[in-house]
Copies of this chain bind each other. A is one copy, B any other.
């Protein structure tokens, strides 16, 4: 699906100069971005770029697109609304005006998201029912997420809970770890993230069994995937693998996909890595399977409720690694997002199909 979802109106620029019927394309940068990246966007395609970091939530860390809560004084809020009124294109959502965005920013035709999993937010805010075209950051986070998965698999193979415990006790007791090479991993979801996970696992000699919604044959040529199974054959995969990696979007099809029966069908001692969304797994069933040792461990970058409540038993389970939804965030992120946005902005101005257009039916 290209940028043509809007149909051919007179605003989405088709003029290589960056000027649509109503003048140059105005881009509003709606979350913090380093000056060097803003400058790159300004040099792209003759667009007019609005960037006023004083009016944006302050980032808590590099590539934080949500930022600290922000309460703009009236004058600042008026200025911000002025920007919204002028914007044709937005880099990131305005998290201070998700519900009334269409009213405040009536010219906006396209929003480039800074994350990949925006389906639930678009549903919740009603933005999904607007004529705005959304493009996702799909692919930007593939490398850091694949690295996190490998980190998690290696950490359990090397028994990191023991390493941490023994180090804290100043205890030098030799032990036998496991070799990751020669084990098998199942990957649910073979988008850009799942495929990057597959390549990384395969490169270390892990046998990869993959599945995705659209898998049509028993085997297809996806780099790093040794066996591709249909989504209907999930139970076969679960029985076979030493580790299960969830890398699918959250959709009605994947919500609660991994419940008690699925967890129990896995080998005793198997590892679960969730880099998808918490709701893909039945969390109480997961906790039970970790507690009684059926699962050997879990690395969770996501949780049913985020932030993970302080009283969740997951925090204290010795075979659980909690990551605060940060596995996708890396120091390289904003440079990559800017690359993607500049490419898309050029396409937008030239009237070409955009990359990473969100599909409102599939929800990814």
Contacts and interface: CB of A to CB of B under 8 A. Distances in A.
Copies in the complex: 2
B177 A327 contact: yes
Contact of A175 (B143, B148, B320, B326): B326
Nearest to A163: B323
B329 A64 contact: no
A332 B174 CA distance: 16
A154 B158 contact: no
A6 to B, nearest CB: 33
A151 B61 CA distance: 24
A163 B63 contact: no
A176 interface: yes
A326 B160 CA distance: 12
Contact of A204 (B147, B174, B330): B147
B306 A178 contact: no
A177 B330 contact: yes
Contacts of A150: 150, 154, 204
A320 B226 CA distance: 37
A364 B174 CA distance: 23
Given A158-B327, A164-B164, A174-B329, A181 B321 contact: no
Given A151-B155, A174-B324, A179-B330, 7 more contacts: A61-B174, A63-B176, A144-B179, A147-B157, A151-B160, A166-B324, A174-B329
| 5 A-B pairs with least C-beta separation | A172-B307, A203-B203, A151-B154, A62-B176, A179-B330
